[in-house]
Amino acid sequence: MIAHVKGQRIRPRRRAAARRLSTVALAAWALAACGTKVPVYSPAATISLPGNGHGPGIGDMTYSGELRRFIVPAGDGGRLYLIDPGSNRVTDTISAAGGRGVTSAVYGLGFVFAGDPGRQDLVVIDARSREVLARRRLAAAPDVVRYAASQKEVWVTEPAAEQIEIFRVHPSRRPVLSRRATIAVPGGPESLAIDDQRDMAYTDMGTDKTVAVDLIQERIIGRWPDTCKQSRGLALAPERGLLFVGCHGGRVASLDVAHHGTLIGSVKVGEGVDAIAYDAANNRLYVPAAASGMLTVLSSAPSGRLQTVAKYRTARGAHCVVSDGAGDALVCDPDRGRLLVIRRGSSPGG
């Protein structure tokens, strides 16, 4: 998911939105700079996942604006849960895999693509009928699955093989996946973010470097220092040209992807950072810390520098989060087989 920026004129509406975003960011920045105590909240609600009460693990979660659903992969027989952000209800449960279950799933071209490490497959599911249409054997066990819309490709991280495997999607009633390339990522890759605006991808090397990959050339073009000892989660703000990097040891960094990954700044959070998420509409970065059971909410100044604006009590082991980009987020509580609903200022934490 990262260095050429396509020029484009900003329409009046987008200018207005940018001004509002800058105002919100500056206000949050000024408030924190004045030494105001960071408020602590509790989740607005919890969502129990049917048949998932034994803590089999909740994997990498994504959101599809086209489906208007959170896509939540969990172990427990390879289930995928589709959740409506409006009602916070599970609208569908899909049996997608077996063995160790599903690690990650993403929407694209009318399909849901899911990684099945037990069978070492990439699973293709019809997003409308929920039918499993195809399976594609992978070179190694999958971890994170992402869809590159600009190339009509599915990118799959395979940490055990230290590589990313890439497939071109040929859509039809039963789509065909043709292997395009593999990209070696020594020491990684863990996370993956796709930047369709710049025809770039971003991943990590598991150390103190974030990797920039050209989507078209399908090769690494940059290795950017990110202040981490063990980089893990990634979240992208493409309109702002920012990439946020979560460090497992308890830090978040912001990089300028439009200027060769220049480090803008970093801030401390709780230990045990894994998946992170960005809400563009509200300029909020969600960072769960599994060790402390606390979610830190950050805003970024116009420069990209980060500032803590709120915290939420979650649960120990809560390591992943997803945002719908419009104010709602879900934090995983894998030990209890449930999700915690985060809304801005949900309720006093006490």
Dump pLDDT digits (tens) for 175-191.
Answer: 999 999 999 999 889 89
Q: Which DSSP letter does residue 45 get?
A: E
Residue 347 clears pLDDT 70, i.e. is over it: no
Residue with more model confidence, 306 or 35? 306
User: SS3 breakdown of the chain: % helix, strand, coil, rounded to 5?
Assistant: 10, 50, 40
Average pLDDT, integer, range 4-29 = 38
Residue 124 near residue 189, CB atoms below 8 Å: no
Which CA distances in Å does 183 have to 50, 114, 158?
Answer: 37, 20, 10
- pLDDT above 80 for 57: no
Each domain of the chain, given as residue ranges in start order, spans: 12-343
**Dihedral of CA 222/223/227/228: which sign?**
positive
Averaged confidence pLDDT in the chain: 86
What tokens does 314 get? 């979650």
Output DSSP code: residue 350.
-
Q: Over the stretch 103-161, which tens digit does the pLDDT of each residue have?
A: 899 999 999 999 999 899 999 999 999 999 999 999 999 999 999 999 999 999 999 99
Q: 27-41, 88-102, 328-342: which has the minimum mean pLDDT?
A: 27-41
Q: Output the pLDDT for position 101.
A: 78
pLDDT at 18: 39
Which residue would you say has higher pLDDT here, 276 or 28? 276
pLDDT bin (cut points 50, 70, 90) of residue 60 is very high
The pLDDT score that the predictor gives to residue 21 is 40
On the question of pLDDT at 17 being above 50, the answer is no
29 three-class SS = helix
pLDDT of residue 22: 43
Report which of 153, 209, 157 is spatially closest to residue 184, judged by C-alpha positions.
157
Distances (CA, A) of 185 to 157, 172, 180: 9, 32, 16
100: three-class secondary structure by DSSP: coil
**Cα gap 189→42, rounded to integer Å:** 33
> CB of 139 within 8 A of CB of 158?
yes
Residue appearing with tokens 């710049």:
198
Residues 207-242 pLDDT 10s:
889 999 999 999 999 999 999 999 989 999 999 999
Amino acid 157: pLDDT: 97
- Say which CATH class 12-343 falls into: mainly beta
| Alpha helices for 128-250 (secondary structure H) | none
Residue range 62-81, pLDDT digits in tens: 999 999 999 999 866 688 99
Q: Which of 49, 143, 41, 46 is nearest to 92 (CA)?
A: 49
Non-local CB neighbours of 184 within 8 Å, separated by 6+ positions:
162, 163
**Letter for the amino acid at 323?**
S
